[in-house]
Structure 1
Amino acid sequence: MSILCIGDSLTRGQVGYSYLPFLKTQAKYKNAGKNGDTILCMTDRLKEILEGKQSADIDTVIVGIGTNDLLLPYLTGISPLWKMQMNHRCKKMRCVTEDDAFILAYRRVMQMIFDSKKRGIILGIPLIQLKNFPNQQAEKRNKAVKKLAQEYGFSFLDTNCLGRMILANPPVYSWKGQNVSHFADSALMGVIPQAKEVFTCKRNLVLTVDGVHFSRRMAKTLAACIDRLL
């Protein structure tokens, strides 16, 4: 049997570290993380996978989604240039900005996993180290998603609390004025993975490489928690 790991760039691991390479489980797993994904776009992909031939081999589904539903709208407010870039992207990726609508969308995700008779492990929205990021809203969504996971009999890992356990008062970073350099850094991390650790140390972020994507330490800690559940 195999594990389907589906989500956004935090699962993908092209920018920053994914938890997948640090898992100690002997089970096969598929990295179905996609950069920039939101809950509605991921739901479409999950539906296709669970209704396809490969579904029969999947025993467990690990879901890590929701960061971009908050991040992309947040970026529209930090500078005119980010707003120009992200307004279109928010519409294209169908960001869910209302909390109630987000929980309804997540219910659909869990119902699909439940109906497919798969085990579910749900990862909360992580602690984001960006200036004025709505982490309180992320925590609110995590509490509702945790309650929903319990309803379906799924495991829930509060990635936000996990980050605060590692670092009680995490520093913040800013992407304001870094449109070009941010995308350049992301491209560099994709080509030269060693740059990820350099960025984490240089920025003294500990939990992330750029305020959003996991550092090696955070990814390893998350993987250890998932291993215990598996």
Structure 2
Amino acid sequence: MNGDTTHGALKRLRRIVAYPEYEAVDTYIVGIGTNDVLLPYLTRISWLWKLQMEPRCRRLQCKTDMKEFAVEYEKYLILLADRQKKMILIGMPYIELKGYPHESIRIRNKIIGRLAKKYEVPFIDIYALQMELASQPGEYTWKHRNLTRVGEGVFTAVLPFTKDWLGRMRGLKLTVDGVHYNTESARVLAVEVQRHLDRLVKSS
């Protein structure tokens, strides 16, 4: 669900695992947490973004504190482990936005990595994989793009093949708009997910 947070997605996961039709699902891929950092970041770049994102962040309970994030994230693992589900954890990606708090992302990825070791589940460090794709990523800004973001969303939904072109026009190497994966980042992630899924199948 686009724009969701660690707290919001956890509520959805609790509902999903309770549905009888999902009982047969034995593997869950967990990739969450970016919006816990992105939404507070957007509140700082302009007053228009602040008006939009501050109430949203409160409603979705963005986990800005690292300890709170770690506690909330571990609830995913406890929930799935208690139901004897397999898991693959995906770390938080590189964001090509001006002034973005990358250190916060690196710390959160360390937290996710430690939890993966604790529960003995695979961890995909997409941030590190993206750095291998582009050691000097691009940089973009959403500062004065509140309305154009809506237009771009409609445009790329109708013409999805334009996403990579837009990213290149913006000088971006890993994303199409500073946040969402371009084809190359998505491909690298897909390869790693498939590799871990194959291992889980072989070990079962």
Provide TM-score, normalisation by structure 1.
0.84
Which of 129, 133, 144 does residue 166 from structure 1 map onto? 133
Matched, 1:75 2:31: no
| Corresponding position of 1:216 | 183
Greater share of strand residues, 1 or 2?
Answer: 1
Listed as ranges, the gaps of 5+ residues in structure 1 are 1-33
| Corresponding position of 1:109 | 76
Query: What secondary structure sits across from 2:132 in the alignment?
Result: helix
CA distance in 2 between counterparts of 1:114 and 1:48 reads 16
TM-aligned CA deviation for residue 213 of structure 1: 0.1
Between Structure 1 and Structure 2, whose CA radius of gyration is higher? 2
CA distance in 1 between counterparts of 2:194 and 2:87 reads 14
TM-aligned CA deviation for residue 55 of structure 1: 2.5
Matched, 1:153 2:120: yes
Greater share of helix residues, 1 or 2?
Answer: 2
TM-aligned CA deviation for residue 88 of structure 1: 1.1
Which of 143, 149, 161 does residue 176 from structure 1 map onto? 143
After TM superposition, what 4+ stretches of structure 1 lie above 3 angstroms from structure 2?
none
| Corresponding position of 1:8 | none
| Corresponding position of 2:202 | none
CA distance in 1 between counterparts of 2:21 and 2:129 reads 32
CA distance in 1 between counterparts of 2:113 and 2:192 reads 16
Listed as ranges, the gaps of 5+ residues in structure 2 are 198-204
**Structure with the larger RCO, 1 or 2 (CA within 8 Å, 6+ apart):** 1
Identity %: 39
TM-aligned CA deviation for residue 115 of structure 1: 0.9
CA distance in 2 between counterparts of 1:69 and 1:109 reads 16
